[in-house]
Amino acid sequence: MASRTDQYHGALLIDKPAGLTSHDVVLQIRQLIKQRSVGHTGTLDPRAEGLLMVCLGRATKVIRYLADHDKTYDAGIRLGLTSSTLDAEGVDENAKPRYIPSLKPAHLESLLKEFEGTQVQRVPRFSAIRVGGRRLHELARSGEEFEPPERTVHIRHIEFLSYDKPDLFIRVTCSKGTYIRSLADEVGRRVGCGAYLAALKRTSVGPFELTDALTVSDLTDMIDRRSIEEHIIPLERLFGCAAITVKDKFSKNIVSGPMLKKKDIVKLDGSFTVGDHIVLKNTDGSILAVGKAEVDSASIGMDGQIRIFKYERVLN
């Protein structure tokens, strides 16, 4: 939770190296900037590298909304071997590679296209998801029998990058909750020789790109030069949804969650339908609250008494 003593508010784009957990990075940044309200918007496995969006101060209150962004990954899939963890950690060093059939780029491109769209994916046995209060990787390492849960995910696009036997390189844009490890395992099943995820780099989170990210070392230098503020993305830039600007009188009472009426509105930015996430802003452009639309934007002018906005999070 954000504290009144927090100095920094917004988000930092961090280039996480392989070998650190996402939580390790959060702890490092907490120590560097000397504030506790720091959190990330989507876990990267310790072996993975790339873009980690780290929220500071008031932005930690809206992490769950930012986690909904699509993400893009560059992945290396090694064919011919399987893994208990679906990545390099669980590969049996004594296992003999299986025969890999002849694969041409056109065949691989066609196979990858079959994974695009909405699908049900089984969560890896070695993952941080909790079942009955315990993380799956804890259950798996203890030898307990359990059935990993399934989840519905959406793969927007898969691009074939290259193939240098036994390594297949792809680019995947997908919804939150998608496990690229599970995708790699399934590719191996379809090819018929098994496969595991050998390398993973996250290159984008929504509109934010790895090319704009800082390393923790960069951040350390900036703290010394007191230039970190230049690289913090303001809260107002983190949301891509529609917004309603409200009058100053209304914004002063926002903590109590007052009912929003037509007379309180200064302007609309963007259109929305019932159930869409929208934000309330004050006349200075600062975000006051996040919630869901209870009417279509086109209907607001029809009846001054209709309920317009359902609060989910007030930022104070």
Q: Which of 6, 45, 74, 264 is catalytic?
A: 45
The 3-class SS string of the chain reads CCCCCCCCCEEEEEEECCCCCHHHHHHHHHHHHCCCCEEECCCCCCCCEEEEEEEEHHHHHHHHHHCCCCEEEEEEEEECCCECCCEHHHECCCCCCCCCCCCCHHHHHHHHHCCCEEEEEECCCCCCCEECCEEHHHHHHCCCCCCCCEEEEEEEEEEEEEEECCEEEEEEEECCCCCHHHHHHHHHHHHCCCEEEEEEEEEEECCEEHHHCECHHHHHHHHHHCCHHHHCECHHHHCCCCEEEECHHHHCCHHHCCCCCHHHEEEEECCCCCCCEEEEECCCCCEEEEEEECCCHHHCCCCCCCCCEEEEEECC
Active site residue 264: no
- 165-182 CB burial, b ≥16 within 10 A, e <16: ebebbbbbbbbbbbbbbb
Q: Catalytic positions, please?
A: 45
